[in-house]
Amino acid sequence: MFVGREREIATLNKLYDEKSFQMVVIYGRRRIGKTTLISKFISNKPAIFFTAQEVNDTLNLTQFSKKIYSFFDIPQTTGAFGSWNDAFSFLGKKAEEKQFILAFDEFPYAVSANRSLKSILQTAIDHEFLNTGLYLILCGSHMGFMENEVLGYKSPLFGRRTAQIKLEGFDYYDAGKMLADFSNEDKLKFYACIGGTPHYLSQIKASETFEENIKRLYFDISGYLYNEPMMLFQQELREPAMYNSIVAAIAGGASRLNEISTKINEESSKVGKYLQALINLQIVHKIYPFGENPQNSRKGIYHIADNCYDFWYSFIFPAKPEIESGNGDIIADNEVFGEKLSYYIGKPPFENICLQYLQRKNRNKMLPFTATSFGSWWGTDPKEKTQTDFDVVAANRIDKKIILGECKWKNRIDDVAEIQKLMSKEHLLSEYKDRYYYLFSKVTFTEKAKKLMSNKLVLITADMLFENS
């Protein structure tokens, strides 16, 4: 089932229509849907789709040759190309005759087997491909490699790419398309606990309840997601134990560098480098209060960006001994489901979902104004002398217009009181004169609250998050 990726497909098709040489770099974490995206794009086009393996150079070249022979109807009994130079030269001559796509998946594997391959490809681009209709796609899961060894200025391939796509997980809305058999509330709960990685979402069974799916995937030693975060660390990173400790510390409530360092008993300078690697992998992100300059602000805090990792380190990691003893169901029923899960979803997954909603609405010109910046805000209320926050913020700094929002994932709220509380903060971020207030709620609003709605106050329920986005 292919859902979402409309912008990526549109970009790829636009370049294809130019009928000139293209080198598109597509990269992102494992399981994020890169291969599926490429397969969808080439489905109605002439294309060679080669996936490199973790084997030696000879075997990769042999398999590459077979893919070329198959595409051009050359007998498979023909011997493999003598070198990558020969293979690329052959493709360059063919590309002079007609346009076709060469999708080279898991490019880092091929380079690890032949360190000269980047230079060989660079030469082929400059001398064989440049004036042809060849549409080259280089794809890889190793984020650091793709950014440094392919896109980086020290790479032989630097400056050759015509486009790059860093593929990320689905937002809540596109994730929901893969969960059509579930209620909107369950779609949001799944997204909060599993995230937007398409391959993970594909493991959810429509025949099972939310709770049954979560138990099967996380709380059983044979479950698909039981060891997934640890396995990805082992595949992607050299020191998985250190990264594991850092993410566990963040999940445990440490949000600042000194707090994380203290919790795992490591030097801050060392931890900072590992945190940057986790940010590059999109597992962790560092956020600042809305309006703060990241270059000089000391208010930045670390959050786990990936919902699957956040849920795993919050609930699975601390309970691994019990789960491995066969008590996963008991742990899930008594330590996860219910109020504890509701609290977990409320901060920060539901807040991020609400922010995604505003971003979607903004792209579709469905907000009161066009927002140019998004985030959340926290700080001291000078009037009340207390710490306070806005869960979501969307603003246009030039026009001085702002949306200030609160997000409540609870089965029952005093919605009128929440509205009053939200609108009582009008003295905060006072440089924005034109102000709009949004209250997001898991449940429906009372009639009394609905009567307070205006062009300045918008009330959004969980069901409404899936309407016209």
Looking at the domain assignment, is residue 265 inside a domain? Answer: yes
Looking at the domain assignment, is residue 1 inside a domain? Answer: no
Domain range enclosing 275: 173-346
Domain boundary among 166, 183, 216: 166
* Single pTM value for the model: 0.91
Q: Give the CATH number of the domain where residue 460 resides.
A: 3.40.1350.10
Domain co-membership, 404 together with 317: no
Q: Which residues contact 151 (CB under 8 A, 6 or more apart)?
A: 25, 157, 158, 161, 164
Domain co-membership, 181 together with 328: yes
Domain co-membership, 16 together with 156: yes
Looking at the domain assignment, is residue 89 inside a domain? Answer: yes
Q: Are strands 47-51 and 100-105 parallel, antiparallel or unpaired?
A: parallel
Are the beta carbons of 300 and 238 closer than 8 angstroms?
no
Report the first-to-last Cα separation within the chain, whole angstroms. 20
Domain co-membership, 188 together with 265: yes
Domain co-membership, 95 together with 111: yes
Looking at the domain assignment, is residue 141 inside a domain? Answer: yes
Give the count of domains, the chain.
3
Domain co-membership, 119 together with 221: no
Domain boundary among 346, 375, 397: 346
Q: Which residues of 231-245 are buried (b: 16+ CB within 10 A; e: fewer)?
A: ebbeebbeebebbbb
Domain co-membership, 162 together with 177: no
HSE-up (13 A, CA, CB side) for residue 275: 28
Are the beta carbons of 310 and 282 closer than 8 angstroms?
no
Are the beta carbons of 47 and 99 closer than 8 angstroms?
no
- CA 196 to each of CA 4, 40, 176, 345: distance values in angstroms, whole numbers, following the listed order: 11, 19, 9, 15
Domain co-membership, 240 together with 315: yes
Q: Give the CATH number of the domain where residue 101 resides.
A: 3.40.50.300
The tens-digit pLDDT sequence of the chain (469 residues) is: 678 899 999 999 999 999 999 999 999 988 899 999 999 999 999 999 999 999 999 999 999 999 999 999 999 888 899 999 999 999 999 999 999 999 999 999 999 999 999 999 999 999 999 999 999 999 998 888 899 999 999 999 999 999 999 999 999 999 999 999 999 999 999 999 999 999 999 999 999 999 999 999 999 999 999 999 888 887 777 788 899 999 999 999 999 999 999 999 999 999 999 999 899 888 899 999 999 988 888 899 999 999 999 999 999 999 999 999 999 999 999 999 999 999 999 989 999 999 999 999 999 999 999 999 999 999 998 888 899 999 999 999 999 999 999 999 999 999 999 999 999 998 999 999 999 999 999 999 999 999 999 999 999 999 999 987 6
Q: How far is CA 111 from the centre of its chain?
A: 26
Looking at the domain assignment, is residue 211 inside a domain? Answer: yes
Domain co-membership, 178 together with 291: yes
Matching residue, tokens 């742990």: 331
Matching residue, tokens 């396995």: 231
Domain co-membership, 162 together with 257: no
Q: Give the CATH number of the domain where residue 196 resides.
A: 1.10.10.10
Domain boundary among 304, 330, 346: 346
Domain co-membership, 30 together with 141: yes
Domain co-membership, 135 together with 210: no
Shortest CA distance to 351 belongs to which of 437, 251, 442, 459?
Answer: 442
